[in-house]
Amino acid sequence: MSGSLSSSVSPERVGLVGLGRIGRNLALNLKDGGVEVVGFDHAPEALAHAVRDGLIAVPSIEALLDALAPPRLVMLALPAGAATEGVLQALLPRLVAGDIIVDLGNAHFDDTAERVRRLRAREVGFLGVGVAGGESGARYGAALMAGGESSAWARVAPVLRKAAARLDGRPQVALLGPEGSGHLAKVAHNAAEYAEMAAIAEIYTFLERILDLGPEETARLFDRWARDDGASYLLEITANILRRDDPLTQRPLIEVVLDRVEHTGTGLWAVQAAQAAGVAVPQVTAALELRLISREQEGRRRRSRDWPRGTVERPDPNEAVPVLENALLLARIGGLVQALELAHEVARSRGWRLALARMLRIWRAGGIVRSPLLQRFEQAVPELSRPGGLLFEPWLARRIRELLPSLRRTVAFAARAGLPVPSLSACLFWLEARHQTSLPTRMTAAQRDYFGGHGVVRADRQGRYHLDGTRVQAG
């Protein structure tokens, strides 16, 4: 392949399997930092692209391993599941004690934990590293969240520091915990990402459909919000997207984009893992489910024909815009709280100590959810283990109360207008429910005993009872 593979072994030579968009950009980033990356990809086009970009590429996994001196460091940047496991199976017979594999893909954290344990038995190190920040993050500074054993980490850290996003000039990358902790941190990041993206999209749609604002006016608003206290990368790119014209038709770009959104799995894992660990993440669930509904193009089109429209007066934009800004900020706060509760509880259920404040610093340096707002959450992390939880942290509790009337107004107005705002509605339901002493679940509890004999917890005495007043027998 490339002729630049010399026989002398650099102390910073690493292998990389997977030269797709993320892998290739990470390799270029590492190369800029003085790390020599030897790359391989099963797809000939990806190999050729890497060579065109000046990277060292070899034609097989064997050649890749031969190019590295043991103990070797081999990174994987592959789709999760079969692709990652397939390469691992090909590597395994050729690995020797002391070699280290670093999985930079979006693997499920439980798969990563199993691989850490499986390879430990072979004395091969395995680290699962969540990579956030998209393609440009991979190229110029990624949010890198590692999980696994500290012995492997000591060897890998100096390499990953070269590719990490920086905060105040210092690379932000850390071993966040054992086993699958790094990939769990990535899932939590994406949970926050799903929630923020959905909230922005719903507020944008409100501005467009109910306030009747065009792309230029909405771009100006998002630009302003992207500079306020609640600034964020996603607000910034929203304004940029709204300013772009479609190169094919010269129309505003957003107008030619279909409303269909796919997903690649981390949002689904977030919802599944959170629910299994007993944590409600309704904004993430709503965001995911709206994506699922968005795929049903033809059915929606047919049913829309005689669907009764909501009727509302167009509100005064001067009054409505600050309300929407507040509602959006509150939904972003809600999404972050849910992502942190998810990370905290799922880690706890696996027995992993996850360094959440450190994780948030990494997100703040280079995550798609990067925002100065995250600094507040870093300080609030200890509240997660206290009885009032994160929502009781004084700054958050005060901000939530200040912003709540705006979210209530926005959701109520959208409901009257017939505009679905699932993630905003989910945030509101979740906040209302988390702040009630009596939920509409009392009847559900009684019904479960009535037809299923499950018993109820009584308000006036200890223990579980049936509705006929008898105690529930143990077992």
User: What amino acid positions are annotated as catalytic residues?
Assistant: 186, 193
Residue 258 CA to residue 4 CA, distance in Å, equals 45
Tell me the β-bridge partners of 170. Answer: 167
CB of 379 to ligand 3PG, least distance (A): 26
Number of residues that bind ligand 3PG (CB under 6 A): 6
Q: Please list, in sequence order, all residues whose beta carbon lies within 8 angstroms of the beta carbon of residue 97, skipping any fewer than 6 positions away.
A: 71, 122, 123, 124
Q: Is 264 in the site for ligand 3PG (CB under 6 A)?
A: yes
Q: Is 367 in the site for ligand 3PG (CB under 6 A)?
A: no
Q: Which is nearer to ligand 3PG, 266 or 425 (CB)?
A: 266
Binds ligand 3PG by CB under 6 A, chosen from 266, 406, 410, 423: 266
Binds ligand 3PG by CB under 6 A, chosen from 106, 218, 338, 410: 106
Q: Which is nearer to ligand 3PG, 22 or 254 (CB)?
A: 22
Q: Which is nearer to ligand 3PG, 4 or 264 (CB)?
A: 264
Dihedrals φ, ψ of 426, to 5°?
A: -65, -40
CB of 137 to ligand 3PG, least distance (A): 10
Q: Is 190 in the site for ligand 3PG (CB under 6 A)?
A: yes
Residue 239 CA to residue 319 CA, distance in Å, equals 21
Number of Cβ within 10 Å of residue 434's Cβ equals 15
Contact 221, 207 (CB under 8 A): yes
Residue 404 CA to residue 330 CA, distance in Å, equals 7
Q: Which one of the spans 67-75, 83-91, 258-266, 425-433 is the region binding ligand 3PG (CB under 6 A)? A: 258-266
31, 254, 318, 374, 466 from 225: Cα distances, Å: 36, 19, 15, 16, 54
CB of 237 to ligand 3PG, least distance (A): 13
Tell me the β-bridge partners of 143. Answer: 132
Q: Which one of the spans 87-95, 261-269, 316-324, 454-462 is the region binding ligand 3PG (CB under 6 A)? A: 261-269
Q: Which is nearer to ligand 3PG, 132 or 381 (CB)?
A: 132
Residue 284 CA to residue 282 CA, distance in Å, equals 5
Tokens of 297: 């193009």
Q: Is 267 in the site for ligand 3PG (CB under 6 A)?
A: yes
Q: Is 112 in the site for ligand 3PG (CB under 6 A)?
A: no
Q: Which is nearer to ligand 3PG, 84 or 190 (CB)?
A: 190
Residue 394 CA to residue 382 CA, distance in Å, equals 12
Task: List binders of ligand 3PG among 123-152 (CB under 6 A).
Answer: none
Q: Which one of the spans 49-57, 260-268, 306-314, 330-338 is the region binding ligand 3PG (CB under 6 A)? A: 260-268
Q: Is 272 in the site for ligand 3PG (CB under 6 A)?
A: no
CB of 368 to ligand 3PG, least distance (A): 7
Q: Is 263 in the site for ligand 3PG (CB under 6 A)?
A: yes
Contact 312, 369 (CB under 8 A): no
Q: Which one of the spans 42-50, 219-227, 263-271, 337-345 is the region binding ligand 3PG (CB under 6 A)? A: 263-271
Q: Coil, strand, or helix at residue 15? A: strand
Residue 81 CA to residue 221 CA, distance in Å, equals 41
CB of 185 to ligand 3PG, least distance (A): 12
DSSP secondary structure letters along 375-405:
HHHHHHGGGGGSTT-GGGSHHHHHHHHHHHH
- Interface residues toward ligand 3PG, by CB under 6 A: 106, 190, 263-264, 266-267
